[in-house]
Each structure stands twice: as structure tokens, then as C-alpha cells.
């Protein structure tokens, strides 16, 4: 993860390339644009919070299903919660696919200098953290 810019989780430089997960961007999974402008915070993330999506489990572990769950979750967060975008920064699908949740989160994480303010975890959205969600897809 050090190769992605998270401090405190340093890996030897030879392990960085192998340890960096493939994270699918919002564009790759077909995210809608944010309903409102998102806030970029001028500090890096320094920890990861793990959260879950409260949906029924599925035995479909495919990438297509992971992308559909991400689109459904984003629609729920925008249309029902009134948030600007998906609340969490990243999602890990039940099939093991890592997806960017909130637009700009992947670029901010990789820069190591900024983060996008989340909406999913009250009290933690402006602190130096990255929120990851385990999706029961």
C-alpha cells in the first residue's frame, strides 16, 4: 500500500509493485457523475476504515456483478441518502474486485497528498482516513 501513498504501511520497494491492488475507477465500472461537487481535503489518508454494504449476499462473484452492485450502491447513496456520490472511497466486492467508490478517491490516494471527503462514516469523513467497504456481491 505504500506505493499508493498510505503512510505508516511501508513495504519494501521491491514488494510495492506486487502489493498494489488493481482498483477499477469510477469510469471503468460506469459510475454516474457526482450530483454535487466533491470536497478535496489537503491532507493525505493515513489509515483505512473497513465498512460493509447491508445487502443480501450473492453467489455471483463476477466482475460484471461487482460493477452492477457499485452502480446500485451509488444510486442508493445519491437518490435515497441525498449524498453527492457513493459515500465510501473504495469498495471491495465479494468476488475480490477493488473499486473506486467516490469520484477522485483513487487519484487522491495515489497522489499521497490529498483525499476526497467521504459521506459514509460520520465523524471520520474529514480525518486522515480512507474508507473501504466490503460489498456482499
- Per the listing, cell 452492477 goes with 68
Of 60, 92, 49, nearest to 73 by C-alpha is: 92
- In this predicted model, what pLDDT tens digit does every residue of 66-85 receive, in sequence order? 999 999 999 999 999 999 99
Mean pLDDT across 4-26: 63
CA atoms within 13 A on the CB side of 48: 18
DSSP secondary structure of 71-93 = HHHHHIIIIIT--SS-SSSEEE-
- In this predicted model, what pLDDT tens digit does every residue of 20-59 receive, in sequence order? 789 999 999 999 999 999 999 898 887 666 667 777 788 9
Of 123, 132, 136, nearest to 65 by C-alpha is: 136
Amino acid at each position: 500500500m505504500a506505493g499508493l501513498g498510505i503512510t505508516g504501511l511501508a513495504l519494501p520497494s521491491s514488494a510495492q509493485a506486487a502489493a498494489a491492488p488493481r482498483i477499477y475507477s469510477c469510469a471503468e465500472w460506469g459510475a454516474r457523475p457526482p450530483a454535487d461537487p466533491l470536497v478535496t481535503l489537503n491532507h493525505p489518508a493515513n489509515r483505512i476504515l473497513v465498512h460493509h454494504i447491508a445487502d443480501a449476499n450473492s453467489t455471483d462473484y463476477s466482475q460484471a456483478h461487482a460493477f452492477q452492485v457499485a452502480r446500485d450502491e451509488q444510486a442508493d447513496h445519491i437518490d435515497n441518502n441525498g449524498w453527492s456520490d457513493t459515500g465510501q472511497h473504495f469498495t471491495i466486492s465479494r468476488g475480490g474486485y477493488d473499486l473506486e467508490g467516490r469520484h477522485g478517491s483513487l487519484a487522491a490516494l495515489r497522489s499521497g497528498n490529498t483525499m476526497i471527503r467521504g459521506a459514509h462514516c460520520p465523524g471520520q469523513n474529514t480525518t486522515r482516513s480512507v474508507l473501504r467497504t466490503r460489498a456482499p456481491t
